[in-house]
Amino acid sequence: MRISRKAATVVLQHSSRRTLATAVVKSSLRSRTIVGTVAASASALGLGLWSYQQQQKTAECNALKATEPYPKGVMDAYDAALAFVPEYKKEFTPYLGSSITPDLVEKLKDPNDYRAKMEDMIMQAQAKIVNALSSIDGDAKFQVDRYERPNGEGGGLTTVLQDSEVFEKAGVNISVIRGNLKPQLAKQMTAQRGKQLGPGPHTFFASGISSVIHPRNPMVPTMHFNYRYFEVTASDGTKTWWYGGGADLTPYYLEDTDAVHFHQTLKDNCDLHDKSFYPHMKKTCDDYFMITHRKERRGIGGIFFDDLDATPTSKLNMKDQNSVFAFVTDMANSVNETYLPMVIARKDLPYTEQERDWQLVRRGRYVEFNLVYDRGTKFGLVTPQARIESIFISLPLTARWEYKHEVADDSREGKLMAMLRDPIEWVETDEEEKANSN
């Protein structure tokens, strides 16, 4: 099995509650290779598609299973994705619409104008991601909806693909807004998040890119990511800034290959800046996406960070704003290599009505988290002149709630639930690698 250009290491992790063959792949950071090319010997390394090993499926699925336990289409798709990804990292990609800030080009001449730099970055990232998703979905056309807030307070560019062949709903939004910060929000930022905002009244600037991609096929995971910049200006001109964001994966049928690929690619990009970032942000992500009233997580995590700045009290080692911006830019530019291989590999796999129903049940959990716990949703709803259509674009087109829905522990659904209740480490961190080498 060819995992990357470097040799791969497969580690079997065991726990008292379950035994899981977890592929821990260590790619070369220097070559920035990515995980995910599947070869015929995958089963020998403890990998495999549970959908073809642990449950009787429809006649179509069984026929495919009989001819090839690990479908060649999955192998070829990962190879195709590797060739496709470099197109995503061009130096410049034209925006999908005009910039939100009218004189953005002029402002970009100032290397210290991080408002302008962030807007430019997220508009390019949006175009790259939308172009990639459209290409995968038979050149399906995204609806591009540019809007402006009243009184010159910015606006946004919402792009959405709905009820298409591959993606039931995919939204990739950017927003660039400014205005007066409500006193109660300023107090919350000071009391709950330790922000030293200076004397009021305050104005704010916020920009970011956010996306949720809901596939039609339950064999393809849902992905969410967002990267954002927030700046508060006090009445005396003092500015306080920070970044936030992350990316996380919500599978319906867990495939080790996809989980390892997702986490390893995130780790590789984090490691370019500091090797302490991934383990810290992975744990933060597992904690953040907890559906407390269900005692389960929304998905298998990824990375999550908030309040990321360069102050002495920062939990992570950032020397200045340029370092933070460079990190956020690299993470936003890793979306395609993180997610596309599994979409290409699994979008055409057959599935049953039962598996579709399970996807809809899990989507219901997705809705619960977004409406009850998600900070971005809450902030959007209390922002003056909020654009509800853009805020709720993260919600799936269809979902399902069943009374007292339960699954068998030994089913594929049950295995996913065990993972959501008790997350594991999908890749080795440097500390674990050193411990295992001793």
Is there a domain that residue 307 lies in?
yes
Is there a domain that residue 4 lies in?
no
Domain that holds residue 227: 11-437
Average the pLDDT over 293-306 and give the result.
Answer: 95
Average the pLDDT over 309-315 and give the result.
Answer: 76
Is there a domain that residue 6 lies in?
no
Is there a domain that residue 5 lies in?
no
Return the exposure string of 188-202: e unless at least 16 CB atoms fall within 10 Å of the residue's CB, then b: ebeeeeebebbeeeb
Is there a domain that residue 1 lies in?
no
Which position among 202, 224, 263, 273 bears the catalytic label?
224
Q: Tell me the average pLDDT of the chain.
A: 79
Contacts of 322 by beta carbon, 8 Å cutoff, 6+ apart: none
Of 157-171, 197-211, 270-284, give the lowest mean pLDDT range: 197-211
Between CA 275 and CA 431 the distance in angstroms is: 10
Instruction: State the pLDDT at residue 47.
Output: 29
In sequence order, what DSSP letters do the residues of 228-242 get, joined into one string? EEEEEE-TTS-EEEE
Q: Tell me the CATH number at 258.
A: 3.40.1500.10
Between CA 34 and CA 26 the distance in angstroms is: 9
pLDDT-based confidence at 8, cuts 50/70/90?
A: very low
| Dihedral sign of CA atoms 210, 304, 135, 216 in order | negative
pLDDT in tens, 389-427: 888 888 999 999 999 999 999 999 999 999 999 999 999
In Å, how far are 221, 357, 380, 381, 419 from 422, measured between CA atoms? 19, 24, 31, 31, 5
Residue 229's identity, in one-letter code, is: Y
224 as an active site residue: the answer is: yes
Contacts of 405 by beta carbon, 8 Å cutoff, 6+ apart: 361
**Number of folded domains in the chain?**
1
Distant-in-sequence contacts of 131-136, Cβ < 8 A, 24+ apart: 131/93, 132/84, 132/87, 132/88, 132/336, 132/340, 133/161, 133/167, 133/170, 133/172, 133/213, 134/161, 135/84, 136/166, 136/340, 136/343, 136/344, 136/347
pLDDT-based confidence at 29, cuts 50/70/90?
A: very low
With pLDDT > 90 as the criterion, what percentage of the chain qualifies? Answer: 58
Residue 31 has pLDDT above 50, yes or no: no
pLDDT in tens, 225-258: 999 999 999 888 888 899 999 999 999 999 999 9
pLDDT in tens, 121-133: 999 999 999 999 9
Q: Which helix (H) or strand (E) holds 126?
A: helix 114-136
pLDDT-based confidence at 374, cuts 50/70/90?
A: confident
Residue 61 has pLDDT above 90, yes or no: no
Residue 204 has pLDDT above 80, yes or no: yes
